[in-house]
Amino acid sequence: MIGTSLGAIEPSRMAQATGTQNFIRTMSGSIGTSLAISFWSQRDAFHRSRLVETVTPYSREVGEYASRLQDSGVPLAQVMAGIDRQIGIQSSTLALNDLHWLCAWLMVAAIGAVWLIRRPFRGGGAQKRREPVVVME
């Protein structure tokens, strides 16, 4: 990608071009990190709300789990706090899965874009075809 982005730059302007490219790459990484954290946070809230909808005191699984813990001496407040903690862990995990899927699809799109980009042609250097030297005697 560096060769593609800097391929058509004149050698006299190469220092400016590489500096600009490094700045843009660093800034894009910062923006991408911010967007990823935002996406993760929103998906975490989404998955948490979906999980909380299914966990009610009237559901059979929650009732069995809570009664088993209470029978072993755990107070109800701690049982509910433990369930809440598990919901938080699971929602964060599901949100991270969503983020990984998004990154995977973005990577596939980037691979496709790089595949379709025309390679710049720079005259001179190793790309120039040399004719064989014929020595006349």
Taking only the tens place, the pLDDT of each residue in 59-98 is 888 889 889 999 999 998 999 999 999 999 999 999 999 9
Residue 134 lies in a domain: no
How far is Cα of residue 72 from the mean position of the Cα atoms in its chain? 43
pLDDT at 124 (0 to 100): 45
The model's pLDDT over 18-43, given as tens digits with 9 standing for 90+, comes to: 888 899 999 999 999 999 999 999 99
- Most confident stretch, 2-11, 40-49, 73-82: 40-49
Residue 100 lies in a domain: yes
Phi, psi (deg, nearest 5) at residue 57: -65, -15
pLDDT at 72 (0 to 100): 93
Residue 92 lies in a domain: yes
Would the pLDDT of 128 be above 90? Answer: no
pTM more than 0.75: no
Residue 104 lies in a domain: yes
d(CA 53, CA 64) in angstroms, rounded, equals: 18
CB 52 within 8 A of CB 59: no
Domain count, the chain: 1
Share of the chain above pLDDT 90, in %: 53
Task: Tell me the residue range of the domain where 45 lies.
Answer: 35-118
Would the pLDDT of 125 be above 50? Answer: no
Residue 19 lies in a domain: no
Residue 41, token pair as written in the block: 């946070």
